[in-house]
């Protein structure tokens, strides 16, 4: 019982630190935020902060890792019957995930231009998609599967980033429909 309470306290402290960091990132670039600012906003002592994280970069890394783990869980829930269906499903899941956590993504990736976060998310999508294609034993076509994944992942990722930034006023459903139309290339037909 005591172990559960400790785990709950740890999760609560981390959540408070995440929220404090995100709040501060609304007003300031990440580089300008100090650990003392985060502690003050989260209502925790510096010793508590350092019991959980080495520095503010580890806090940001942990926040991004939690986002990515959540995205991985979503991506691994679906089964696929074709490569085309999978890309469409990945796009839907990515957009749902972004929509649900839009403000966090905006703060980390747009306002603070954190390319590390973008690289981590892109890498996660690539790894999950490659693993899934290998598990499904989808045969290679005239173009190697890894090239196809990079090509379509780049498109999906960039469209998603433009959507987060607010440059696209299209609805999520419209964007998915557009991608479905673009994925009618013959090498997806079995």
Q: Is the pTM above the cut of 0.75?
A: no
Band of pLDDT at residue 138, cut at 50, 70 and 90 = low
Range of the domain at 29: 1-53
Q: What percent of the chain has pLDDT over 90?
A: 20
Rounded to whole angstroms, the Cα distance separating 181 from 104 reads 30
Is residue 90 located within the same domain as residue 120? yes
CATH number of the domain that 33 lies in?
1.10.10.60
Q: Quote the tokens at residue 119.
A: 């690289």
Length of the chain: 190
Is residue 31 located within the same domain as residue 101? no
Rounded to whole angstroms, the Cα distance separating 140 from 133 reads 10
Work out the average pLDDT over 72-97.
72
Domain count, the chain: 2
Q: What is the pLDDT of residue 1?
A: 47
**Spacing of C-alpha 169 from chain mean position:** 21
Q: What is the pLDDT of residue 128?
A: 78
CATH number of the domain that 79 lies in?
1.10.357
Q: Quote the tokens at residue 57.
A: 């970069």
Contact 166, 70 (CB under 8 A): no
CB atoms within 10 A of CB 64: 21
Is residue 26 located within the same domain as residue 108? no
């Amino acid at each position: 019982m005591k172990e559960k309470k400790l785990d709950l306290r740890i999760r609560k402290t981390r959540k408070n630190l995440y929220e404090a960091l995100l709040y501060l990132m609304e007003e300031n670039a990440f580089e300008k935020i100090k650990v003392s600012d985060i502690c003050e906003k989260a209502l925790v002592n510096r010793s508590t902060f350092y019991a959980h994280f080495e520095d503010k970069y580890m806090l940001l890394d942990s926040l991004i890792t939690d986002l990515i783990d959540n995205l991985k869980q979503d991506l691994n829930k679906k089964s696929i019957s074709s490569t085309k269906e999978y890309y469409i499903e990945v796009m839907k899941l990515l957009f749902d995930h972004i929509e649900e956590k839009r403000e966090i993504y905006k703060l980390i990736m747009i306002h603070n231009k954190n390319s590390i976060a973008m690289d981590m998310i892109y890498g996660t999508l690539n790894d999950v998609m490659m693993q899934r294609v290998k598990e499904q034993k989808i045969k290679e076509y005239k173009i190697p599967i890894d090239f196809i994944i990079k090509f379509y992942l780049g498109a999906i990722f960039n469209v998603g980033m433009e959507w987060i930034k607010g440059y696209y006023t299209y609805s999520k459903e419209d964007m998915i429909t557009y991608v479905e139309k673009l994925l009618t290339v013959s090498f997806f037909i079995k």
